[in-house]
Amino acid sequence: MSNIKTTLETSVGLEKDNDKLFDYITELEIQNTPENREAKVVIEERLHKEYKYELDQMTPEYGIQKGSVRIGHADVVIFHDSKDKSQENIKIIVECKRKNRRDGIEQLKTYLAGCESAEYGVWFNGEDIVYIKRLKKAPHWKTVFNIPRNGENLGLPEKNSLSPATELVKIFEICHNHVYANDGHLKDKVFNEMLKILFIKLMDERNHTSRIADFGITEQEYDEILNHKENDFKVRINNLFNKAKNNYQDIFNPNEKINLKLSTLAFVVGQMQNFDLSHSSRDVKGLAFQKFVYAHQRGDRGEFFTPDPIIELAVKMINPKIDETILDPACGTGGFLVAALKHVEESIIDLKAERPIDFEKAKTDYALRKLRGIDFNPDLVKVSKMRMILEDDGHTGIFQANSLDTLREIEIQALKSGANNINENSVDIILTNPPFGRKGTITDKDILRQYELGHQWVKNNDSYENSHKVLDDQVPDILFIERCYQFLKNKGKMAIVLPDSVLTGPKLQYVRNYILKRFKVVGVVSLPYETFIPHGANVKASILLLQKLDSKTMEELNTDGYESFMVDIEKIGYQGNKNGTLIYKIDEKGQYILDENGNKILDEEISEALEGWTEYEAVNEVWSS
């Protein structure tokens, strides 16, 4: 059975169901309190996966003594080694609090004072983090930017020691909160500064001429910055940013600067310097970018993010080929484009098995020549470009424009960015989730009059006719249907996410008539209501699989009748809450059903829908040739 992997999974320990929480280190059940759920098991997993401390080197809820008196229980302690788990061998102490709590740092210092061998302390509340280094003499403490990884010190990392990130969502959140709290920027400013830092990080990873990372900070440099002394850190980072501006002139203006306090910049760099962003998994990066962007972009124009399981389902059903041009005219963070690239990569691998082929070149050429994305929001365009750069470029195919503007204006903007072949009847495949609803209603008459669906339609017997009277307003998703039709070649394919009101609303019959006269409805995938709730929208929607055909062919099809693939997905694999809490399959005894590898199985019907589509496609000529 096909399996579409969800990337909504959040790290909350070994959570067996909605009521139980299991400690990451011991796997024993612990109280499902906000402190444990939001901070303790999260930091435990990070200490193991990111900082490389062994599980048998750590102990949760460790009693700290001062003389003969027990002064409290540290949430987590890390020992210098796993052989000696006495208080005299403690290296790091971690104190956790729930979100919005700010107390506990003095308590952490008290614990550290009672442990002669302790070197560092960490205070974490699930959103903010503080690192402390214990000193042998007065003032006894100092703030540091991080703790060292197992067996290392707080210096510039070697590039070959960088490791893929496992918790980018949490790292982005910590960095965002630190910038927001310490620099006083509005959220959109924080967003832009964070993007600059991510590009700087990427520039350093792409530089293979040096063994030591320039993107980083040492303990001595951090001390000097806090004491307002000059050092090389600022020079290194500015040099990297200048390279980024030079390499990506379509993203940055030449006069742009990093607008952060040096101490804030140093802290953020310190959180990221040990990660290999380029080689982190697509799922980890995709989820992190979506969460990061959603924290800053609240969908003022009705846009919101498409969950990765839905993206992957749509891509697999459309099944793009290496010679087909793909466009997303509302690309957002680039999810459809990244998934399409991943899908085509698999076919390149198959080609490589048949004949000699340069895989990396073929992948990059495909991204550059065949992938196109448009978004009205310049910040989202930057994120999409970054995601494509992380996937080995192809970012010049993404550009900022209003997809509902004149085709000529869009073509001009495309050519400026280096993305050719964006005009009428030019695209083989469209994959998109356009903005929905009244929030982003289009009222510009110059835009509306371009579209048949920007005019009032009147019923004439069993059909509808264009009255040629321009509407006062129209929702963008309806206009996007027509714009996608214009972009597509004849026999071009499309997977578009639309609100169910378009499919069933009595006042929108004229829209359905428009679709049925111009597209073959190859399939409809009805999505459950909770699909988009974790991504910012309370809307019931469906995926429409459509093929653009000429009017004569459509008239014949509609006269003769034809079959369409229909499936109603009721289970999406997660709850309809803000976090998209995962739901797993259980048996009649309430026990989790495991796969052949012992992993829990998501309670979802997406994989069954894809399997049904595969079987249907095998025995039906679903796409007209």
Q: Which of 176-180, 214-218, 570-574, 580-584 is the most confident on average?
A: 214-218
What is the average pLDDT across 308-326? 94
Least confident of 73-87, 330-344, 380-394: 380-394
State whether 225 and 307 are in the same domain.
Answer: no
Cβ(345)–Cβ(322) below 8 Å: no
**Would you say residue 589 lies in a domain?**
no
Q: Could you write out the DSSP letters of every residue in 561-596?
A: ----EEEE---BSB-SSTT--B-B-B-TTSPBPB-T
Residue 271 DSSP class: H
Q: What is the pLDDT of residue 570?
A: 94
Size (the chain), residues: 625
- Answer yes or no: is 10 within a domain: no
Whether residues 193 and 256 share a domain: the answer is: yes
Query: What is the rounded CA–CA span in Å between residue 315 and residue 337?
Result: 9
Q: pLDDT-based confidence at 102, cuts 50/70/90?
A: confident
Residue 515 domain-assigned (yes or no): yes
In the listed set 89, 119, 154, which residue is the last one of a domain according to the structure?
A: 154
| Window from 34-38, 50-54, 155-159, 166-170 with minimum mean pLDDT | 166-170
Residue 233 has pLDDT above 70, yes or no: yes
Determine, yes or no, domain membership for 472.
Answer: yes
Give the DSSP per-residue string, 206-241: H--S-SB-SS---HHHHHHHHTT---SHHHHHHHHH
Residues 264 and 309 in one domain: no
**Are residue 217 and residue 202 in the same domain, yes or no?**
yes
Assess if residue 243 is contained within a domain. Answer: yes
Residues 367/443, Cβ–Cβ less than 8 Å: no
**What's the CATH number where 112 sits?**
3.90.1570
Residue-level pLDDT at 5: 27
pTM score above 0.85 = no
Residue 4 within any structural domain of the chain: no
Residue range of the domain that includes 95: 21-154
Based on the structure, what is the number of domains in the chain?
A: 3
- Residue-level pLDDT at 297: 57
Is 330 in the same domain as 245? no
Same structural domain, 260 and 308? no
Q: Mean pLDDT throughout 481-490?
A: 98
| Under 8 Å between Cβ of 179 and 271 | no
pLDDT digits (tens, 9 = 90+) for 244-257: 999 888 888 889 99
Structure tokens at 578: 């803000």
The encoded tokens of residue 365 equal: 């050429």
The beta-strand segments (E) located in 433-585 are 455-460, 463-470, 488-499, 519-526, 541-548, 565-568
